[in-house]
Amino acid sequence: MIEKQANPPYFISLEGGEGAGKSTQIIMLADWLAGQGIDICATREPGGSPGAEEIRDLLVKGAGDRWASMTEALLMAAARAEHVERRIKPALNADKWVLCDRFLDSSVAYQGAGRDLGMARVKALQTLALGDFKPDLTLILDLPVSVGLARAKAREGAKADSEDRFEQLDQDFHETLRAAYLQIAEAEPERCVVIDADMAPEALQQNIRAEISKRFFADNG
């Protein structure tokens, strides 16, 4: 078992475009951390708490233009505020590490850059909703847009109830998202780490574990 450094618990978010593999990687990561004796809360956005899950249905289903851009951003912020207060903060207060599939950077990328609201404007909205609350570490899973969309379409094709509202948007939208995520990482290098996700899930998981070990675990030599 790896020796933990002081001052857990930690809040870790995984970010990236469609098809980057965040959900799969969180499951694998949660299993590994549990094996180190760490209590885990694995969650997702939009959603993660009862009220936020209700808002999720409004956001991930239907036509890509279902909502005006600011309406979409406000719905995301409302879901996130509910999620933080009802699930994330209680988990951290109970000494559980929180692993979240998407968090505030998704709004900055999707609504700020992708929907042309402005990244700074959406960051300000997040600050209004959350104060200065942020993850301790954000892992941005990066891969070519064409690869991610192909994975996402294959995944959604196997579901009876498709949550593909954002995947329906054109490739230029998704290229904008990828560039926005890289810009976010460049602006906050202490919090954000970009990881190449264009590889097998097992190999990607090893790279994620290596980054988390470097950040949060003591070196046992």
Is 4 inside any structural domain? no
**C-alpha closest to that of 181 among 77, 109, 104:** 109
Is 220 inside any structural domain? no
Is 34 inside any structural domain? yes
What CATH number did the domain enclosing 80 receive?
A: 3.40.50.300
**Residue 94 has which token pair?**
């109970």
Quote the number of domains for the chain. 1
Look up the pTM and report it: 0.91
Q: Which pLDDT belongs to residue 154?
A: 81
Could you read off the pLDDT of 47-62 as tens digits, one per residue? Answer: 999 999 999 999 988 8
Q: Which pLDDT belongs to residue 149?
A: 87
Give the residues across from 100 on adjacent strands: 13, 43
Is 1 inside any structural domain? no
Q: Which pLDDT belongs to residue 221?
A: 39
Give the residues across from 44 on adjacent strands: 101
Could you read off the pLDDT of 111-155 as tens digits, one per residue? Answer: 999 999 999 999 999 999 999 999 999 999 999 998 988 888 887
Q: Which pLDDT belongs to residue 163?
A: 67
- Below-50 pLDDT ranges, the chain: 6, 158, 160, 220-221
Is 2 inside any structural domain? no
Q: Which pLDDT belongs to residue 19?
A: 87
Q: Which pLDDT belongs to residue 6?
A: 45
Q: Which pLDDT belongs to residue 7?
A: 61
Is 27 inside any structural domain? yes
Range(s) of the domain holding residue 146 = 11-215
Q: Collect all residues with Cβ–Cβ distance below 8 Å to 188 and sequence separation of at least 6.
A: 138
Q: Are 21 and 151 in contact (CB under 8 A)?
A: yes
